[in-house]
A and B are shown apart, each in its own frame.
Chain A
């Protein structure tokens, strides 16, 4: 066992059992899966994706590039880093060979999202972040502090409890301050515009099967901050050498963290290979914990303090040396050493843990995502946020602590407070920096050596395919791959990234990206500053699609709009279709004599027959409706529609078409004149919002002098067309006070009348060609009036019908559906509706375009009817219409396409509408529709196939 008996932030009084790769293990609360595995002596965790090499745990946090696992219980989740999984009772995991496997069943967990607003958002609860948050909190600001760990402290968590009393005090103060929100287990993964930061909170992951059902397992915080302070710390980076990927090769700070935070001594014979002073504290602490430690440092001028400390605890130090390779299989067993930089005097030293430190990469991801500029610091070997230069920083975004390149603890504490003061000053708040806790002298005495890889023969051809000097462990990408990229002529780090895939894995190259750039710079002999870095993009850490989807799934995925009559449709067995966001009855299948349900063709045949021969009713409430008021309302509508509206008298209704500036049909509908100064117009169901925006744009921007106001009344009115030769009797029955005769109530007029005691507006308009009355009532009464009409229609066999029947009825009459029979390239003239285009009006939207040469071409596509020669063949909507049935001659000349196609009882077979080039000149011609690999002969007809003379509309 490598678990120490004391020390760390784990609860040894509680034992958590878990399983890894099929074997049972035990750990404690406070462990990660990685620390628990190490505590059980398990170093090999995964297998590399391409080369099948054993891989272990190389870090103690989100930067882990190697230890990928798949969780199996309580719910399968692939591609997780063992270093970021908090241990829980019953955890089942297995190591991955690079790729995971998605669950084959729905995830039962809840996920959600929530918005939060603050004056100051602090990302990172390390020393700098805590000071920043505390300073802002004491100033009375609204503060959000997010941190990815389950407890605050940041880098302090990897120490021997340094400042632990202080962090506890700060946390207590923050959590008890009103308007301060501390979010732990929360990773800010993206900076977007205007202080908008997305953060993923893992809320119940650590509870395993004990997670409550009603709590969202993960939550996306949509944080909107006036000021953002990034105290995101730094990630240690390794140095590359041969066989640097063996289990047991770990970052130095990770080795220290496993010791101090988790009470795990990850090795007994430890070799620390460092290019800088920061790893010495790890070496000393591990030695004091009982390990035999050797330090290898390529530098020759060692810091006196650390030399003395090493001597004190018995650490052998090999200055002027480097690690050139390792031995071992499942775990490192030894290290090859050589003099630096010559490579001479090589030797092999036994060890069971190799800790490596090549320096630190400030975590500048969010700053860079905010378009903050980065500058290469040759001394640190890292890109740092540029601060204080005009235009270099980002308004409202500050970086502090190790993320800003600050090395000392005292500097981080002071910096955090200072940045908070500066941020508050920008908000107009005068604040004092809180006093930092006392800390010891910082022990970084000598500059680090920037070393990306131990010296090797630089060969641009990178021909050694057995290269084991791994730059990106997760992608199995090596120094040789980088050199091959350079040899192939690539000069941009972005290209090298794509060529080698370095930095494209789940860890996004947190430890490898900069090294790849460094190797590239060395190989090309260019300055690192000039080479730059690859672009940092969200997400900073992996975010599951389930979390991103949140509650936008299942029944509440997208708004479902229903009419006031919806519950009646459900009760009467309607089959629904989606029309935009609306649910509309498609048809109302009845029980058949055999106990089954009618299929769609049978239901539609019955419903259309009722409308053509008896009486039927439709819920048309989804039609868009716009109230237009004002003394200039008529003038306004004259300018919008192609036909004249201002001459319409109160009590009358007119069909009208509106076009875009280009003369193409935008929408159609009816216009009802209520009074001299008031109209109600309808739009197609899907276009209601678009048309209102369109009208408002003209009213507000082009013609602000017109006194006209537009108000949506779509849901104010329930709309019920009562259709068919017997509709007059039904309306007479429900509206006894209304004279329903054709003489008193003619086509294209409307009347106010009471239906079942409810004030209604009834329009004599028809979208079927039949005698029809469109009943409009305030939608509260929609269902009552629907039922009243239904009851009154019983003696006449009234039949509710759905959208499919509506389509058959209108298509038989050649009435186009805007957006189905048109596609934004169709003029009214193309539809054969020149009659709807006023010749008298001086101007209206689109008028000038009708005389453009393109719109006068005789070979434009026209709306025509198509009758299949075999009237049992249903044309496919979208099928191409061609003249020559020999499709072996390429290219086949396309004349147009089928826009609508139905079976018709009234027409005794199938029929369609189509847009066909010069279609009106082809009436009587035989053409072909190409569908399902066959040519279907069709006859071209005019678009009106039923009751061409219009004899039926008055009953």
Chain B
């Protein structure tokens, strides 16, 4: 049972969290003006790197806050967590709270 650190509540078991997919994928500004291809690209395509990956998580069974985490998809290690609105920490730094 992995521990994930909520930026508010601190380390909790992973079962308290829900996953929210890739972080920092902004909702497009003028969706009406987007081509079908561009919209499909936003809708269906996400990065799938091996290594550090910025993701959204929600502390569903705790404070109900969404936050971002950088997780190494190869090892599952959570390298950093940061609150919504905070900049993504430099990758490679162990900036977890």
Contact = CB atoms under 8 A, between A and B. Distances in A.
In the complex, A touching B (Cβ < 8 A): yes
B60 A848 contact: no
Contacts of B65: 700
Interface string A826-859: 0000000000000000110001110111000000
B40 interface: yes
A700 B66 CA distance: 7
Using C-beta atoms within 8 Å of the partner chain, give the interface range for chain B. 20 to 34
A696 B39 contact: no
Given A700-B65, A700-B84, A853-B36, A843 B31 contact: yes
Given A662-B43, A704-B84, A852-B36, A697 B31 contact: no
A194 B3 contact: yes
A701 interface: yes
A475 B34 CA distance: 63
Contacts of A849: 39, 43
Interface string A279-295: 00000000000000000
A821 B26 CA distance: 32
B66 A848 contact: no
A853 B36 CA distance: 8
Contact of B31 (A194, A222, A847): A847
A848 B40 contact: no
Interface string A634-665: 00000000000000000000000000011000
A693 interface: yes
A842 B33 CA distance: 12
Contacts of A852: 36, 39-40
Consensus secondary structure, chain B interface: mixed
Nearest to A843: B31
Interface in B7-34: 11, 18, 20, 27, 31-32, 34
Contact of B43 (A661, A704, A843, A847): A661
Given A661-B43, A696-B58, A701-B84, A193 B66 contact: no
Nearest to A689: B60
A148 B2 CA distance: 25
Contacts of B34: 848
A192 interface: yes
B64 interface: yes
A693 B11 CA distance: 20
Contact of B2 (A193, A848, A851): A193
Using C-beta atoms within 8 Å of the partner chain, give the interface range for chain A.
20 to 34
A697 B43 contact: no
A192 B2 CA distance: 7
A111 interface: no
B32 A704 contact: no
Contacts of B49: none
Interface string A676-697: 0000000000000100010011
Contacts of B43: 661-662, 849
A470 interface: no
Nearest to A660: B43
B15 to A, nearest CB: 12
A702 B27 contact: yes
A12 to B, nearest CB: 45
Contacts of A843: 31-32
Interface of A: 192-194, 196, 222, 661-662, 689, 693, 696-697, 700-702, 704, 842-843, 847-849, 851-853
Interface of B: 1-3, 11, 18, 20, 27, 31-32, 34, 36, 39-40, 43, 56, 58, 60, 64-66, 76, 84-85
Given A192-B2, A701-B84, 18 more contacts: A193-B1, A193-B2, A194-B1, A194-B2, A196-B2, A196-B3, A661-B43, A662-B43, A693-B60, A696-B66, A701-B56, A842-B32, A843-B32, A847-B31, A848-B34, A848-B39, A849-B39, A852-B40
